[in-house]
Amino acid sequence: MFETVLIANRGEIALRVLRACKELGMRTAVVYSAADADSAVVRLADQAVRIGPASSRRSYLNAAAIVEAARQVGAQAVHPGYGFLSEDADFAEICADNGLTFIGPPPAVMAALADKSSARALMSRAGLPLSPGSVAPVPTAAAAAEVAEAVGYPVIVKAAAGGGGRGMTVVHTPGELRRAYTRTRAAAQAAFGDDRVYVERYLTEARHVEVQVLCDAHGNGVHLGTRDCSVQRRHQKLVEEAPAPSLPAAVLDTIAETALRGALQVGFVGAGTLEFLVDAEEKFHFLEINCRIQVEHPVTEMVTGIDLVHEQLHIAAGVPLRWRQEEIRLHGVAVECRVNTEDPERGFAPTPGRLERFTPPGGPFTRVDTHASAGYLVGPWYDSLLAKVIVWAPDRELALNRLERALDEFDVAGPGVHTTIPFVRRVLDDAAFRKGRYTTGLVDRLLAAPARGPTSTPAPRTAPAADPDATHRRTR
């Protein structure tokens, strides 16, 4: 195993990785920007290196500064978390060139899979079903129109280098396509430095189901079941659960087994997630593979009892996979909601500000992954994820009730700060969601309906005087 691991990230995921490293007896080092100088992970790490100002490009996306920090602290490995450089094959190669183990797939594998068009081609050759559309990038608007005409509208134009819900445009009619194609290419160039796009059929009433896999460098692999991530706004997830509800066990097993087969055939190594769309006929279509730990990984941990970050570290150190498929058992149901500092009534616009109150929930089978605390400044520079609330229960109904109870307890407030907690409540109250028969159209449907209350987190409820034990009461 490694003696020292450098954590090249921030926020809740940096804290999550730090804790895993400490539990395995490793020394921890973190990089941080000027905006994060007072963060919890900086305080808890064995060493911390300031690498730049608040701007991501000059700090958390500055590969040279991160590698130099790793050399300064004597790290043998770099854990990239999620986002930032976590799926950057060039960064992984730079780490290797400097004698550092990048905790993720080999650079060549990552380069092939991070390109969504390339990943589609690889997975198609591995036998995974794809949504109808182009496999290679489409070079012109006319070529895009030919693909759209062949598969039928609506279609979605996607950036080949995209990720995190960015670089995608849904097109409903032929008249919209040329403008959408041009706009998506420009957005892709600005966001990813790569303007290539491809076109596929857009499934309007589909489930977003993903599979967690673990693969080592010795050809071994296991899947850890499914997650449902259909509750999304602008392709960004809000609520996730494991296992995916209301689909036949045979369908879920087939999706999971197909995902693992695809990962092994393309030489994947590490903890990864293969994402699929499941249509109304329960046919599934490969979307993409994420070569990193996912924001929603805790729900899989809760139903399997397997620490995914521990497994990442073992695999990166060359240890053969410690699990066989027959040893993987799913127990109960876990649900996670992301608590973002955003205002759903203003298109989920970020609402930065200082937190005057921050008391996360507790109680049995309730986990909160967060980097925040009272007095914490939610700045405008980074992702708006503030916390993740994860609950487990033996059955789905109790898990949903437990999440509602946990959100009742979550006390967070500050001037100008809004959170997604009230919107998550609307999701939890929705009849289709409660039945487990919801699709990716759920959030749009709820937004089209009138809201029942304010989107700012309510002030704590006052307990009746006769009940001194009564309690009171937001990432992406």
Catalytic residues: 292
DSSP character string of 343-379 = EGGGTTEE--EE-SEEE---STTEEEEE---TT-EE-
> Residue 292 corresponds to which tokens in the numbers above?
């990193």
SS3 299: helix
Residue 125's CB is within 10 A of a number of other CB atoms, namely 12
Question: How far apart, in whole angstroms, are the C-alpha atoms of residue 352 and residue 68?
Answer: 31
Instruction: Categorise residue 453: left if φ over 0, alpha if ψ from -120 to 50, beta otherwise.
Output: beta
Closest CA to 1 of 300, 30, 20, 328: 20
Closest CA to 279 of 247, 234, 254, 253: 247
Q: Are 393 and 331 in contact (CB under 8 A)?
A: no
Question: How far apart, in whole angstroms, are the C-alpha atoms of residue 396 and residue 12?
Answer: 26
Sign of CA pseudo-dihedral 232, 234, 236, 238 = negative
How many DSSP H helices and E strands does the chain contain? 15, 22
- DSSP-derived pairing of the beta strands 4-7 and 27-33: parallel
Question: How far apart, in whole angstroms, are the C-alpha atoms of residue 470 and residue 460?
Answer: 11
From start to end of 110-206, where are the E strands?
155-159, 168-171, 197-201
DSSP character string of 183-197 = HHHHHHHHHHS---E
The b/e string for 310-336 (b: 16+ C-beta within 10 A; e otherwise) is ebbbbbbbeeebebeeeebebebbbbb
From start to end of 195-261, where are the E strands?
197-201, 207-215, 221-233, 236-242
> Residue 54 corresponds to which tokens in the numbers above?
């608040």
- DSSP-derived pairing of the beta strands 4-7 and 77-79: parallel
SS3 309: helix
Question: How far apart, in whole angstroms, are the C-alpha atoms of residue 187 and residue 167?
Answer: 6
